[in-house]
Amino acid sequence: MQNRSLLFVNTAQRNKISTLQTAKDLGYNVLVVGTELPEFAKPYVDQFFHADPYNTDEVLDVLRKAYKEFPFHGVITFWDRDVMPVAIIANAFNLCGSTVDSAEKARNKRRMRESLKERGVAHPRFHKITCLEDAQQAASKMDFPVILKPVGASSSKGIFKVEDPSQLEDTYHQMTAVVRPDLDTMYSFYSDEFLMEEFMEGQEVSVEGIVSHGEVYIAGITEKWVDSYFGEYQHAFPARLPADLKEELMQLTKDSVAALGLDYCAFHTEIKITPAGCKIVEVNGRLGGDFINTHLVPLATGIDIVRANILAVMGEDISLASTKMGGACIRYLIADREGQVEGWEGIKEVLQMPGVVEFGVEKEAGSTVALPPGKFYDTRLAYVVTSGEDTTQAIELAEAALEKVKCIIK
């Protein structure tokens, strides 16, 4: 593995630093292309190339000029917005990766739905909408409640529930007022294209894994908790489900990965367990976000899924065999009002609690807090990661830990 290089598209947040560390531990040179290289990442990065991943022509131009001196043998990302650039780079440099078409299906929720429909994979009823008139026509064919969402966003941004037809026009205008690229660059993907889809009642889970050489490897299933705006505030692994239901979820995942044509990448398949059966919410062509795969999966099973993801894009053989059986949980402290953070209480007590693996503050004193729908993904104040003998114990430990903490917002 020595003298081989892995290109990361972006490094982004500190909580993904283990991805860089893992690549170094495998003996690879670490290259990064992005708009900036954070200080925390610099000790692990051998070469940085400045380019905007939102502009793939610019990225390819920069990389082609650098390639002779700094060749790379694989390309990877851990961020939804960069799934397409990774596929484009892999295609341009003849590296392992999904096709550009498959990557777009994983990023464009309409194309994803259409691909699942063509292959007969269970999914919610949906209609493409680009204007209020489209929404009104689609509503006449749907049972309420329904969901409105942009086709290119992530992190549960821009998702609105419409309870009945009388709310449709106001909710549509509310969505289009906030789902704008000038407010969040994530909305620049497939802007002005939305979906109306059936609201699915039931428990939400996600299936974590890797697809390599056309073979699907599954690490396990994650339980998920969401708020009224579909923001995720707790994950626990592995999910507490009957064996037959787990088999159904894993088969549905394999079918969905095949429907999109993904390969040489991770996947994070979100599924609703509804009264009418299991249905795909989304198929993401990268590892699950937050701490699911960097923390929960290895804590509970010993599986280093980040390592497997890296090996897959480098064309190496992989394994997701577990080495232990336990449970892990991450729970976020969520703001219930807007304002400014003045301080914290109880952090020292949390750090001393049994089962607490990590505690982090996401809103330091002086930070502002906003709530949806005015601003999405801004309500997380802090998080705790716990490890237990099983999933239930890990959840109980996380809940108990956050009860000790208080964030003072004025």
Q: List all residues 6 or more positions away from 373 whose beta carbon is below 8 Å from its beta carbon.
A: 160, 174, 175, 178, 229
Average pLDDT, 10 consecutive residues per value, the chain (410 residues)? 86 84 96 94 96 95 97 95 96 98 96 97 97 96 96 86 96 92 80 94 97 97 92 96 98 98 98 97 93 96 98 97 97 95 96 96 95 88 98 98 96
Structure tokens at 158: 């821009």
**Could you say which of 3.90.1170.50, 2.60.120.560, 3.40.50.11540, 1.10.1040.10 is the CATH number of the domain covering 328-410?**
3.90.1170.50
What is the pLDDT at residue 343?
A: 95
What is the pLDDT at residue 320?
A: 97
What is the pLDDT at residue 2?
A: 55
What is the pLDDT at residue 1?
A: 43
The superfamily (CATH) of domain 125-198 is ATP-grasp fold, A domain (3.30.1490.20)
Q: List all residues 6 or more positions away from 381 whose beta carbon is below 8 Å from its beta carbon.
A: 332, 333, 334, 335, 341, 361, 362, 363, 369, 407
Q: Are domains 201-325 and 328-410 of this chain identical in fold?
A: no
Contact between 371 and 337 (Cβ < 8 Å): yes
* Single-letter residue type at 105: K
What is the pLDDT at residue 272?
A: 98
What is the pLDDT at residue 357?
A: 97
What is the pLDDT at residue 276?
A: 94
Sheet bearing 146-150, strands edge to edge:
126-129, 194-198, 146-150, 160-162
CATH 3.30.470.20 fits 201-325, yes or no: yes
Query: Are β-strands 194-198 and 356-361 bridged in parallel, bridged antiparallel, or unpaired?
Result: unpaired
CATH of domain 5-95: 3.40.50.20
Domain range list for the chain: 5-95, 125-198, 201-325, 328-410
Structure tokens at 82: 């960069």
